[in-house]
Structure 1
């Protein structure tokens, strides 16, 4: 989805450093200090326009959330929501998800969300998929022992690839949903993409997997 350029987006970001950072390296190992109180930290890599991360923060005040997004025009939409909500348990980070070890210390994160990531369907682009093993290694590095990865997509090919990738990496598959919206899963919070795809009757896939400390190069 292409987003229109928002006039003054960069200026708005710079004007709200208490909610958003474009370089979080100075907070590496100290993210709890950015929040009102110390609580488990959940991050979403690729937050888009932020419906999921904002609604999760509203629904779970006992968890601290960090939305990570590379596109300025997307994260400004999240910032606008946060400027209205003023959620004490939500922070935003405008950085590349491939560089998370620059911004988080080892074992600082309790859970990682990947929602409707770009499927990069061509084989030559496999390394760009957010469930490729180098990304999994990055998540595991910043995550606590036995932390979880929660993944949702409408793309069957990416879902099958991701199942194979996390299995090969040595993660434990906790649970799989092949048609989330017809299941008995409770508490699902939809992203903008999820609303769009499910509204067209498309199937939504979901998995939860646990990191087991396997070292893969």
Structure 2
């Protein structure tokens, strides 16, 4: 669905202390930005921020960086964070293709990828956020032993991603084709997930661990 341009969003984001519009300047300095030594987790494709704001709210001892491309959705993520008065999260507008430019080696301890674009055509597969190409980029800043938590409702993407993780040197620590009926108790439901679960969609989930 095409998003209607919100011309007011970027100026408002630039004025917000919790939105980082020059994230490359913080490479290697994210702990200074958060003013503590807590672990830093990253969500790639945060959308309207429902997932990451809930995560940050219940885990105040963890810092979060939430990345997405569109100001039109990030402005809503920012408003959620501000309403909850969260200080342990930063909102970052960025094309994820450049994510490795934001962090130093070992600076991130966990990544969340929720319902990313499946890019079903073969010629577009390398755009998948779980493709080997991207996973190798994430390895540039992930600490050894770090995890990537990945959810999708696309079976082809899920099956292919299992191969991508193995090719990139990750072990698959957990794998489930029906997360909501699995007994897994650490899931936080995204806005997309809530909507389509009510329509009978099954959520697939895996945890990949960097060896």
- Report if TM-score (shorter chain) is over 0.5: yes
Q: Superposition pairs for residues 1-217 of structure 1, below 5 Å?
A: 1-16=1-16, 18-212=17-211
**Please, what TM-score do these two structures have when normalized by structure 2?**
0.96
Q: Which runs of 5+ in 1 are unaligned?
A: 213-217
Please tell me whether the aligned partners of residues 43 and 67 of structure 2 are also in contact (alpha carbons under 8 angstroms).
Answer: yes
- Does structure 1 retain, via aligned residues, the 8 Å contact 2:174–2:208? yes
Q: Kindly state the Cα deviation for residue 78 of structure 1 after the two structures are TM-superposed.
A: 0.4
Paired residues in the alignment total 211
Q: Distance in 2 between matches of 1:83 and 1:151?
A: 26
Check the 8 A contact 2:47/2:73 in 1, yes or no: yes
The Cα of 1:118 is off from its aligned counterpart by 0.2
Normalising by structure 1, report the TM-score.
0.94
Separation (CA, whole Å) in 1 of partners of 2:197 and 2:92: 28
Post-superposition Cα deviations, 1:113-154, rounded to whole Å, max 9, x if no partner, equal 100000000000011001111100111111111111110001
* Whole-angstrom distance in 2 between the partners of 1:75 and 1:191: 15
Q: CA deviation at 1:36?
A: 4.4
Per-residue CA distance 1:19-78 (angstroms, 9 max, x = gap):
011221111001012214221100001101110000000011111111001111111110
Equivalents in 1 of 2:105, 2:34: separation in Å?
Answer: 19
Aligned mates of 2:167, 2:119 — CA distance in 1:
19
Structure 1 position 7, deviation (Å): 4.3
Q: Kindly report structure 1 stretches of 4+ aligned residues shifted beyond 6 Å.
A: none
* Structure 2, unpaired ranges of 5+: none
SS in structure 2 opposite 1:21? coil
Equivalents in 1 of 2:45, 2:175: separation in Å?
21
For the aligned residue pairs, the C-alpha RMSD in angstroms reads 1.1
